[in-house]
Amino acid sequence: EVQLLESGGGLVQPGGSLRLSCAGSGFIFSNYAMTWVRQAPGKGLEWVSGISGSGDIRHYADSVKGRFTISRDNSKKTLYLEMNSLRAEDTALYYCTKTRDIVIVASDYWGQGARVTVS
């Protein structure tokens, strides 16, 4: 059974930093691209960042480019999101997702989310 377990969320002051982690299990982690998607309270889904299975291709939404860094450690089956220079508008539930291929495509599994509050 595929499982994605996010951790590292919390309350941080504007300008602060936070690192989210997502531990994957039940699938060959290195064979699949992974993404982070966020959802602000009462709002829709916003794609944040994605990384290929090998980790050599990374993409970011314009809203986080230069502030967030996505990475993965395939030996630990873990995805990361390093978030710097946090703003109030980064407050959201951050979902880790597994995509259906080694490159970034549709997400077939989602974690339950890590809550980030910038205040």
Partner 1 sequence: DIQMTQSPSTLSASVGDRVTITCRASQSVSRWLAWYQQKPGKAPNLLIYKASTLESGVPSRFSGSGSGTEFTLTISSLQPDDFATYYCQQYSTYGTFGQGTKVEIK
Can you give the binding site for partner 1, defined by CB under 8 A? 35, 37, 44-47, 50, 59, 61-62, 95, 100, 104-108, 110-113
β-sheet bridge partners, residue 49: 36, 60
Q: How far is the CB of 109 from partner 1 (least distance, A)?
A: 8
H or E, element range at 35? strand 34-39
| Residue whose CB is less far from partner 1, 14 or 103 | 103
Q: How far is the CB of 45 from partner 1 (least distance, A)?
A: 4
Q: How far is the CB of 37 from partner 1 (least distance, A)?
A: 8
Rounded to whole angstroms, how far apart are CA atoms 73 and 80? 8
| Residue whose CB is less far from partner 1, 14 or 45 | 45
φ, ψ at 66 (rounded to 5°): 90, -15
| Residue whose CB is less far from partner 1, 27 or 47 | 47
Closest CA to 61 of 43, 71, 44, 48: 48
| Residue whose CB is less far from partner 1, 7 or 16 | 7
**Pairing label, strands 78-83, 92-99:** unpaired
